[in-house]
């Protein structure tokens, strides 16, 4: 049972501490739209998506106004296009991406995710076509997001796919060189991707899920930071007590997210899916994951102690969220995206946060090397090595990890990049030994699954 002061603190969260619902995502199953004829397929997916999502934005706005809690992003996730569009070539996949972009514009949502493939154990015809289409599909559209799962704890790491994704990322960056490689900001490479998550760029609707479902992603770094500061103002606290504060705060944030999500689902007459507990920052001052580290007593994110602090934060958020909702899913952790978090971007620029430390921290959090701008002349082999390292962390630890790396054409470490909106801005991070040629990633094949994958 919450006490009076905790109810008042929840009102403070809404009024002064950037509490909002970061994303309401409508998942739509497209398997009943499959056709071998491209025009028929395009007609089918347009009819189905607009039928379900036509009122998504207006309903989210109305529910947000009713409770005074903004729904920042309205999004759609769909069945993986590599599966439902397996009959089509790479050029036809690009046409599908254009169709999805037009649909997203027509229903006025921010992003549509699901231009995706699952290739951890090998690539089928549709998977290869989709990966080959990625550079153009992302460069020629504005609202289409893509993800490719190349590793799982059960299957190991598909190193052929890792190298192909490195090439696709480089090509996508070159095609959007006039926008600092912006296309890569809409592309995630995953290990152990969840099936139902509202956060882009990786969102897609998996199999085994209802025909249409509403998922919610909460936010709240500013809320957690202020809760820690408020309690420390009353005197010293042990880390165990601070973890308890974070846990109770996460519980309240999750309740808010589920309240909004269930009402949106009811208004749209679709099922409610899950709440993703991820603490996702914005480039706004006062709404930063990095500032939570400072509230905990660290001078900057990235200094010694940061990994331990992140582990405690992540665990407390999960425990609080799990108490608040019986339907938790997605990534459900703390994001540490470089450009999307003003404090993290500054710590990286000032040298407190290196790429190596960032990688170490991803072993205890969601999701991975996220929104990391790197020099444009990075080799495909180096990029593939970075992706493989991050996939290995996910595979061995049976957790989700991902990379969203942006090689910025024509720019070097220390130069500025600006992606706009929630994607933020940052200085390009240095990549040690970037020019070293690596034969490792050219061996190809699949890195075998770890021994603990044999659990059954």
Candidate ranges 143-152, 209-218, 287-296; pick with highest mean pLDDT: 143-152
Per the model's pLDDT, the better-predicted residue between 15 and 62 turns out to be 62
Number of domains in the chain: 1
In a domain? residue 322: yes
Q: Is 281 helix (H, G, I), strand (E, B) or coil?
A: coil
Mean pLDDT of 317-346: 86
Calpha distance 81→53 (Å, rounded): 18
Question: Does the pLDDT value for residue 320 go beyond 70?
Answer: yes
Q: Name the pTM for this structure.
A: 0.93
Name the residue range of residue 213's domain. Answer: 1-450
Of 342, 267, 314, 284, whose CA–CA distance to 20 is shortest? 284
In a domain? residue 31: yes
Contacts 24+ apart (CB under 8 A), 50-57: 50/103, 50/106, 50/107, 52/26, 52/28, 52/212, 52/268, 52/270, 53/26, 53/28, 53/107, 53/109, 54/107, 55/267, 55/268, 56/24, 56/26, 56/107, 56/109, 56/268, 57/107, 57/108, 57/109
Calpha distance 89→96 (Å, rounded): 10
**Predicted local distance difference test score (pLDDT) of residue 161:** 98
In a domain? residue 455: no
Question: Does the pLDDT value for residue 113 go beyond 90?
Answer: yes
Of 56, 128, 138, whose CA–CA distance to 96 is shortest? 138
Question: Does the pLDDT value for residue 2 go beyond 80?
Answer: no
Residues 6+ apart with CB under 8 A from 72: 20, 21, 22, 23, 219, 422
| Mean of per-residue pLDDT scores for the chain | 91
What are 62's two structure tokens?
A: 């109305």
Percent over 90 (pLDDT), the chain: 68
Question: Does the pLDDT value for residue 304 go beyond 90?
Answer: yes
Mean pLDDT of 387-399: 95
In a domain? residue 77: yes
Residues 6+ apart with CB under 8 A from 380: 163, 166, 167, 170
Q: What is the CATH number of the domain that holds 15?
A: 3.20.70.20
Question: Does the pLDDT value for residue 340 go beyond 70?
Answer: yes
In a domain? residue 267: yes
Calpha distance 140→176 (Å, rounded): 9
Of 171, 105, 160, whose CA–CA distance to 138 is shortest? 171
Question: Does the pLDDT value for residue 8 go beyond 60?
Answer: no
Q: What is the pLDDT of residues 71-111, one digit of tens each?
A: 888 999 999 999 999 999 999 999 999 999 999 999 999 99
In a domain? residue 266: yes
In a domain? residue 246: yes
In a domain? residue 177: yes
């Amino acid at each position: 049972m919450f006490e009076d002061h905790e109810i008042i603190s929840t009102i403070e969260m809404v009024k002064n501490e950037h509490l909002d619902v970061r994303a309401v995502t409508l998942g739509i199953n497209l398997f009943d739209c499959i056709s071998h004829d491209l025009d028929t397929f395009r007609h089918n997916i347009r009819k189905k998506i607009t039928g379900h999502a036509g009122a998504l934005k207006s309903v989210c706005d109305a529910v947000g106004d009713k409770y005074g809690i903004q729904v920042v992003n309205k999004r759609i996730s769909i069945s993986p296009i590599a599966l439902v569009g397996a009959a089509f070539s790479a050029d036809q996949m690009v046409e599908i991406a254009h169709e999805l972009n037009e649909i997203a514009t027509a229903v006025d949502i921010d992003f549509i995710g699901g231009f995706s493939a699952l290739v951890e154990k090998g690539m089928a015809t549709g998977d290869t076509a989709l990966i080959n289409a990625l550079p153009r599909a992302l460069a020629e559209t504005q609202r289409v997001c893509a993800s490719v799962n190349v590793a799982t704890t059960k299957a190991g790491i598909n190193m052929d796919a890792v190298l192909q994704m490195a090439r696709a990322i480089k090509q996508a960056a070159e095609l959007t060189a006039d926008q600092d490689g912006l296309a890569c900001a809409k592309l995630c490479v995953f290990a152990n991707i969840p099936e139902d998550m509202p956060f882009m760029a990786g969102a897609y609707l998996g199999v085994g899920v209802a025909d249409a479902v509403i998922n919610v992603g909460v936010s709240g770094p500013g809320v957690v930071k202020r809760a820690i500061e408020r309690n420390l103002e009353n005197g010293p606290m042990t880390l165990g007590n601070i973890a308890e504060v974070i846990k109770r705060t996460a519980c309240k944030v999750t309740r808010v997210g589920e309240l909004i999500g269930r009402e949106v689902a009811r208004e749209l007459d679709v099922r409610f899916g899950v709440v993703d507990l991820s603490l996702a920052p914005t480039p706004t001052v006062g709404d930063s994951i990095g500032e939570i580290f400072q509230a905990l007593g660290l001078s900057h994110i990235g200094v010694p102690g940061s990994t331990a602090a992140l582990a405690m934060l992540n665990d407390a958020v999960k425990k609080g969220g799990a108490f608040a909702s019986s339907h938790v899913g997605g990534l459900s952790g703390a994001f540490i995206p470089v450009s999307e978090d003003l404090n993290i971007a500054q710590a990286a620029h000032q040298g407190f946060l290196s790429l190596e430390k960032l990688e170490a921290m991803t072993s205890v959090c969601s999701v991975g090397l996220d929104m990391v701008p790197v020099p444009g002349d990075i080799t495909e082999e180096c990029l593939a090595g970075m992706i493989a390292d991050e996939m290995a962390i996910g595979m061995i630890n049976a957790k989700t990890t991902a990379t969203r790396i942006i090689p910025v054409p024509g720019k070097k470490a220390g130069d500025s990049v600006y992606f706009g909106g929630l994607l933020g801005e940052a200085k390009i991070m240095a990549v040690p030994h970037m020019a070293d040629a690596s034969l490792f990633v050219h061996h190809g094949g699949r890195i075998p699954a770890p021994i603990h994958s044999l659990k059954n």
